[in-house]
Amino acid sequence: MLGILLYKSARLKGHDYATSVTWIRKAATQGDAVGQAFLGTLLSEGKIVPGDMSEAIKWFRKAAAQGNVDAEAALGVSYSIGRGVPQNCLEGMKWLQKSAAQGNVDGEYLLGLAYGKGQCVTQDFAEANKWFFRSAAQGNAASQCMLGFAYASGRAVTQDGVQALKWYILAAAQSPESQDNPDAGVLRDAAIKGRDTLASRLPASEVEEAQKQARDWKPQLAPR
């Protein structure tokens, strides 16, 4: 979509966003689900355009009604925490599960986070790890960081320093700007700290093995 391409170009080059927002709004008002979801995101972030969660929810709903998985994930987290709408755990989990079940990388991460925190569901670290793994396998740095912590601490998995270090290495290698996650910078710092701490404690052979696995790792298509 032209508006999103212009937006990404403006973000990379530091140019004015006005033209891209105009095209995104045009696409959204013409019924384009991608444009609707993207406009909802801009409105919810309030960085490029004035923040307006009520308006953001409106566009997320329109996009989700057309099956847009990004909008489904956004609606899920909005209902789960009561952001822009009254909190409704049933509605929140419905949208998160729908998005994640279709292999949406953000939906999988957010669903894992919900299970890990016990937000709107019974806390279940094994279920959280399952969704983090699916998201991490597609390259989501936040989920990779979460798996690094899980393997380092043995949280609902067999403790494994090599696996922990591998996931921390992968998460730390990604720039926050490449991730559509407002907490990307904090999580990258956590991944770097976890990587460096583990690398200083593990035997050299295990560090080398983790580094090799990280080098050989390739993102996978969304599991179905």
How far, in whole angstroms, is CA 92 from its chain's centroid?
Answer: 16
At residue 54, does pLDDT exceed 60? yes
Cβ contact 146:115 at 8 Å:
no
**Could you give the CA distance from residue 56 to residue 69 in angstroms, rounded to a whole number?**
15
**What's phi and psi for 96, nearest 5 deg?**
-65, -45
pLDDT at 20: 85
Q: pLDDT, tens digit, for every residue of 80-111? A: 999 999 999 999 999 999 999 999 999 999 99
Cβ contact 108:100 at 8 Å:
yes
Mean pLDDT over each residue of the chain, to the nearest integer: 90
pLDDT at 17: 78
At residue 5, does pLDDT exceed 50? no
Q: pLDDT, tens digit, for every residue of 183-193? A: 777 888 999 99
178: exposed, middle or buried (Cβ count in 10 Å: 0-12, 13-18, 19+): exposed
**Could you give the CA distance from residue 10 to residue 12 in angstroms, rounded to a whole number?**
5
